[in-house]
Amino acid sequence: MGWDGSQFDGLRAHIDNLVTPTLRGRTLDAMVDEAAAHVHDGDLLGGVSMGAAVSLAYAARPDARCSAIALIAPAGGDDARRYLDWLADTLESGGFDALRAAGEPLVDMWESRFGRDHLLALWRTRPFVDVAAVRVPSVVVAWRGDGVHPWDEAASVAAQLDAPLVEVPAPTSTDLPAAEITAAIAPLLRFSSP
pTM of the predicted model as reported, rounded to 2 decimal places = 0.72
Domain count, the chain: 2
For residues 113 and 17, membership in a common domain is answered with no
In a domain, residue 27? The reply is: yes
pLDDT in tens, 132-149: 889 999 999 999 987 777
For residues 69 and 111, membership in a common domain is answered with no
Give the per-residue pLDDT at 143: 92
pLDDT in tens, 164-181: 999 999 887 667 888 898
Q: What is the mean pLDDT of residues 88-109?
A: 91
For residues 20 and 115, membership in a common domain is answered with no
Give the per-residue pLDDT at 11: 67
- pLDDT mean across residues, the chain: 81
User: Which H or E run includes 75?
Assistant: none
Contact criterion met (CB below 8 Å) for 19 and 38: yes
Give the per-residue pLDDT at 23: 60
d(CA 41, CA 13): 23
Nearest partner of 7 among 123, 97, 141, judged by Cα: 141
Helix (H, G, I), strand (E, B) or coil at 64: coil
d(CA 86, CA 99): 10
For residues 72 and 87, membership in a common domain is answered with no
In a domain, residue 194? The reply is: no
Give the per-residue pLDDT at 178: 84
- The pLDDT-based confidence of 32 (bands split at 50, 70, 90) is confident
DSSP alpha helix (H) spans, 114-174: 116-124, 151-161
User: Which H or E run includes 167?
Assistant: strand 165-167
For residues 64 and 136, membership in a common domain is answered with yes
For residues 41 and 114, membership in a common domain is answered with no
Percent of the chain whose predicted confidence (pLDDT) is above 70? 78
In a domain, residue 45? The reply is: yes
DSSP letter at 22 equals B
In sequence order, what are the residues at sequence separation of 6 or more whose Cβ sits closer than 8 angstroms to the Cβ of residue 112? none
pLDDT in tens, 41-96: 888 888 887 778 888 888 998 999 989 999 988 876 566 677 778 889 999 999 99
Q: Which of residues 96, 120, 144 is at a domain's end?
A: 120
Q: What is the mean pLDDT of residues 92-106?
A: 92
Domain that holds residue 92: 81-120
Helix (H, G, I), strand (E, B) or coil at 68: strand
